[in-house]
C-alpha cells in the first residue's frame, strides 16, 4: 500500500475555470496509507450501502425456495438455479445479456456521477473499509497506527499485530465460505469447513478466495484501485462537462493557508488542514484536480465540510460538482450524446433479456436416429424406424410429458407415450415409429416429434427423417 508523488498545485483562481485532470497521486512514494476515520452524511450513506451489500452477500445463499437453495451455481450438474428458474449451459446467453446490460447501466450512471460505483458499491471498497475498521479498533487511530509502524517490536506490538491479522484472517475465511456457498449447498458448507469435513477441492477453493480477500483488503487495498482495476483507466472517456465528480472549488479555496478561527483572512477558504488527504482511501490530494485514482467515496467532502463548519465558512468547498456547475453554466444532461447512447444501449439489452426469458423453453428435446439400421420391415408388411429421444426437464419440479409424432397420417408410436421426468433430469428414451408403406410418399420422409407438458407448461418439437424401402 504505497502513495505516489504529485507536484501539481493550483496557483490562482483563474486556473479553476475548468477541471484539471492529472494522473499522479499526491503523497510520498514510500509511505504506507493509514486512512483517518471520518464521519458525515456521505460516509453514513457509504457505510449503509456497503453493510447492506455485505449482508446480502452472506445471507442470499441461505434463502430457500421450493425446498432448495434459491441461488446456486451447481457446477457438478451444470445448472444455475435462481429462485426456481434453472439455467443450463445453453441458456447462459441470458447471463451474457445480463452482464452486458449491467455494463451499459454502469456507463450510464458514470456519465452523471463519475466513479460512484467504486465509492459506494464496489466489493473491494467494502472489504477494505471492513479491514480498516478492524485495524482501527485494535491498533488505534491514524496517528497511533503510524507510531506503531515506527515503533520497535515489543510484546504489545506483537499482540496487536497478531490480533489484527487473526481478525483479518477470520473475515477472509468467512468471505471464502460466503463465495463458495453460491456453488455448493451453503448450509452444509460452513459446517464442513469448520469441522474439517469438506472435500479437498471445496477446501482448496474456500482457502484460495480467503487468501485473495486477505491480500486484497488487508495489504493491497488502494493498489487494486490504482493499478489493477481496469475501470479506473477507462472511466474518464465516459465523463463530460456535466459529470458530477468529487471536485475542489479552486476559485473559492485559493490561495490556501492556515489561519485562526473566526478571524478575517485575505486567503481563500481552504485552511490547508490536509484532512481531505488524510481520509482519502487512495491517498490523493483532491485539490490537485480530478485524478483517476479518486473513487468518489465522498470522504474528503465530509472532512472538508466539517472544517468549514468549524471556521464558519460556507460548506461544499469540496463537493460533487460538474465542470459546467463550477463555470456557472447550466446545460441539460439529457442533451448529452453519451446520455442518449448509453441509455438506449441499456434499454436494448434489457429488452433482449426480456425477450430471451420469454422465449425460453422449460423442455429440451434432441432426437437421435438409430444409425445402424435405416428401417426395418415387419412381418405384417409395415415399416418401422427407431429413435432415441433425449428429453430434459429444465425445471425444479417433477413433470408429466406426452410424446406426439406428426408429418404423416400413417405414423404410429410403439411403446408408452406418457413419461414422468424428475427435476433437472435428462431422460434417454428409445422409441419406435411404425408406418404403412402405402402412405409414405418417398424413401425419406419428414417426421416431427413433439414433447408436451401435460399441464400446459410448454412443449418442444424437433424434425427428423423416416426412411422406407424405395
Q: Please write the tens of the pLDDT for every residue from 359-375.
A: 888 888 999 998 888 88
Of the ranges 266-280, 324-338, 401-415, the best mean pLDDT one: 266-280
The grid cell for 23 is 494522473
The pLDDT value given to residue 85: 80
E strand or H helix that includes residue 405: strand 399-406
Q: What is the DSSP string of 285-322?
A: -GGG-EETT-----HHHHHHHHHHHHHT--S-SEEEE-
Q: Provide the pLDDT confidence category of residue 30 given band limits of 50, 70 and 90.
A: low
The pLDDT value given to residue 402: 92
CA dihedral 380→384→386→392, nearest 10 degrees, is -100
Q: What mean pLDDT do residues 398-425 have?
A: 87
d(CA 274, CA 72): 47
Instruction: With respect to residue 409, please indicate whether it lies within any of the assigned structural domains.
Output: yes
**Are 10 and 20 a contacting pair, CB within 8 Å?**
yes
Q: Out of 120-124, 305-309, 328-332, pick the least confident.
A: 328-332
Give the CATH number of the domain where residue 387 resides.
2.60.40.10
CB atoms within 10 A of CB 314: 11
CA dist list (Å): 349 to 98, 99, 320, 396: 8, 9, 30, 27
The pLDDT value given to residue 438: 83
pLDDT at 353 over 70: yes
Q: How many domains is the chain partitioned into structurally?
A: 1
CA dist list (Å): 159 to 35, 138, 155, 170, 214: 22, 10, 6, 16, 19
Angle, alpha carbons 273-278-283 (nearest 5°): 125
CA dist list (Å): 97 to 88, 347, 351: 15, 12, 10
The grid cell for 456 is 400446459
The pLDDT value given to residue 3: 40
Specify which residues 21 forms β-bridges with. 290
Instruction: With respect to residue 434, please indicate whether it lies within any of the assigned structural domains.
Output: yes
d(CA 136, CA 147): 13
Q: What is the DSSP letter of 210?
A: H
- Burial level of 111, CB count in 10 A (0-12/13-18/19+)? buried
d(CA 107, CA 113): 10
Instruction: With respect to residue 239, please indicate whether it lies within any of the assigned structural domains.
Output: no
**Are 56 and 182 a contacting pair, CB within 8 Å?**
no
The grid cell for 115 is 466513479
The pLDDT value given to residue 269: 92
Higher pLDDT, 293 or 52: 52
E strand or H helix that includes residue 369: strand 363-369
340: left (phi over 0), alpha (psi -120 to 50) or beta: alpha
Instruction: With respect to residue 410, please indicate whether it lies within any of the assigned structural domains.
Output: yes
The grid cell for 354 is 426480456
Cell 446456486 sits on residue: 72
Q: Provide the pLDDT confidence category of residue 4 given band limits of 50, 70 and 90.
A: very low
The pLDDT value given to residue 8: 38
Contacts of 351 (CB under 8 A, 6+ apart): none
pLDDT at 12 over 50: no
Contacts of 243 (CB under 8 A, 6+ apart): 110, 111, 112, 113, 114, 322, 323
The pLDDT value given to residue 5: 39
CB atoms within 10 A of CB 6: 18
Instruction: With respect to residue 424, please indicate whether it lies within any of the assigned structural domains.
Output: yes
Instruction: With respect to residue 217, please indicate whether it lies within any of the assigned structural domains.
Output: no
Q: Provide the pLDDT confidence category of residue 208 given band limits of 50, 70 and 90.
A: very high
Give the residue numbers spanning the domain of 413: 363-467
**Are 440 and 468 a contacting pair, CB within 8 Å?**
yes
250: left (phi over 0), alpha (psi -120 to 50) or beta: alpha
Q: Provide the pLDDT confidence category of residue 334 given band limits of 50, 70 and 90.
A: low
**Each residue's pLDDT tens digit, 232-264:** 777 777 888 888 899 999 999 989 999 988 788
Q: What mean pLDDT do residues 293-303 have?
A: 93
Specify which residues 319 forms β-bridges with. 247
pLDDT at 447 over 50: yes
pLDDT above 90 covers a percentage of the chain that reads 53
pLDDT at 18 over 50: no
**Are 151 and 47 a contacting pair, CB within 8 Å?**
no
Q: What mean pLDDT do residues 289-311 have?
A: 92
Instruction: With respect to residue 415, please indicate whether it lies within any of the assigned structural domains.
Output: yes
Q: Provide the pLDDT confidence category of residue 39 given band limits of 50, 70 and 90.
A: very high
Q: What mean pLDDT do residues 269-273 have?
A: 93
Q: Out of 119-123, 292-296, 328-332, pick the least confident.
A: 328-332
Please tell me whether residue 85 adopts helix, strand or coil conformation. Answer: strand
**Are 390 and 365 a contacting pair, CB within 8 Å?**
yes
**Are 302 and 37 a contacting pair, CB within 8 Å?**
no
Q: Provide the pLDDT confidence category of residue 28 given band limits of 50, 70 and 90.
A: very low
**Are 414 and 378 a contacting pair, CB within 8 Å?**
no
**Are 232 and 282 a contacting pair, CB within 8 Å?**
no
d(CA 420, CA 447): 23
Beta-strand runs (E) in 194-289: 245-248
Amino acid at each position: 500500500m504505497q502513495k505516489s508523488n504529485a507536484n501539481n498545485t493550483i496557483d490562482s483562481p483563474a486556473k479553476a475555470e475548468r477541471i484539471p485532470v492529472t494522473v499522479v497521486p499526491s503523497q510520498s512514494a514510500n509511505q504506507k496509507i493509514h486512512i483517518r476515520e471520518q464521519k458525515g452524511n456521505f460516509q453514513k450513506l457509504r457505510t449503509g450501502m456497503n453493510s447492506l451489500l455485505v449482508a446480502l452477500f452472506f445471507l442470499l445463499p441461505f434463502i430457500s425456495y421450493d425446498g432448495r437453495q434459491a441461488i446456486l451455481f451447481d457446477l457438478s450438474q451444470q445448472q444455475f438455479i435462481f429462485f426456481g428458474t434453472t439455467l443450463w449451459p445453453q441458456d447462459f446467453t441470458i447471463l451474457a445479456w445480463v452482464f452486458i446490460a449491467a455494463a451499459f447501466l454502469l456507463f450510464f450512471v458514470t456519465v452523471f456521477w463519475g466513479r460512484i460505483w467504486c465509492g459506494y458499491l464496489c466489493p473491494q471498497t467494502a472489504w477494505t473499509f471492513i479491514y480498516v475498521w478492524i485495524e482501527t479498533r485494535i491498533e488505534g487511530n491514524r496517528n497511533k497506527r503510524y507510531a506503531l509502524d515506527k515503533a520497535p517490536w515489543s510484546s504489545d506490538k506483537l499482540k496487536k499485530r497478531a490480533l489484527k491479522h487473526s481478525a483479518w484472517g477470520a473475515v477472509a475465511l468467512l468471505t471464502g465460505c460466503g463465495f463458495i456457498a453460491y456453488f455448493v449447498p451453503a448450509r452444509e458448507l460452513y459446517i464442513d469447513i469448520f469441522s474439517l469435513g469438506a472435500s479437498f477441492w471445496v477446501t482448496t477453493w474456500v482457502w484460495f478466495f480467503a487468501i485473495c480477500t486477505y491480500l486484497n483488503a488487508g495489504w493491497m487495498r488502494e493498489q487494486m484501485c490504482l493499478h489493477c482495476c481496469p475501470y479506473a483507466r477507462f472511466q474518464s472517456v465516459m465523463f463530460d462537462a456535466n459529470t458530477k465528480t468529487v471536485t475542489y472549488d479552486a476559485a473559492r479555496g485559493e490561495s490556501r493557508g492556515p489561519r485562526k478561527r473566526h478571524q478575517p483572512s485575505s486567503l481563500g477558504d481552504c485552511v490547508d488542514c490536509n484532512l481531505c488527504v488524510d481520509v482519502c482511501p487512495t491517498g490523493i490530494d483532491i485539490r490537485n484536480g480530478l485524478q483517476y485514482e479518486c473513487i468518489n467515496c465522498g470522504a474528503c467532502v465530509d472532512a472538508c465540510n466539517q472544517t468549514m463548519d468549524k471556521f464558519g465558512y460556507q460548506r461544499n468547498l469540496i463537493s460533487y460538482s460538474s465542470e459546467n456547475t463550477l463555470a456557472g453554466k447550466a446545460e441539460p444532461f439529457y442533451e448529452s450524446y453519451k446520455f442518449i447512447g448509453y441509455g438506449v444501449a441499456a434499454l436494448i439489452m434489457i429488452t433482449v433479456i426480456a425477450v430471451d426469458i420469454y422465449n425460453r423453453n422449460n423442455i429440451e428435446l434432441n432426437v437421435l436416429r438409430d444409425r445402424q439400421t435405416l428401417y426395418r420391415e415387419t412381418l405384417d408388411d409395415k415399416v418401422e424406424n427407431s429413435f432415441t429421444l433425449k428429453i430434459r426437464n429444465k425445471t425444479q419440479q417433477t413433470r408429466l410429458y406426452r410424446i406426439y409424432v406428426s408429418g404423416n397420417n400413417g405414423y404410429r408410436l410403439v411403446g408408452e407415450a406418457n413419461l414422468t421426468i424428475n427435476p433437472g433430469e435428462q431422460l434417454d428414451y428409445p422409441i419406435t415409429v411404425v408406418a404403412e408403406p402405402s402412405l409414405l410418399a418417398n424413401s425419406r420422409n419428414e417426421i416431427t416429434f413433439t414433447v408436451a407438458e401435460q399441464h400446459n407448461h410448454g412443449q418442444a418439437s424437433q424434425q427428423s427423417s423416416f426412411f422406407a424401402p424405395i
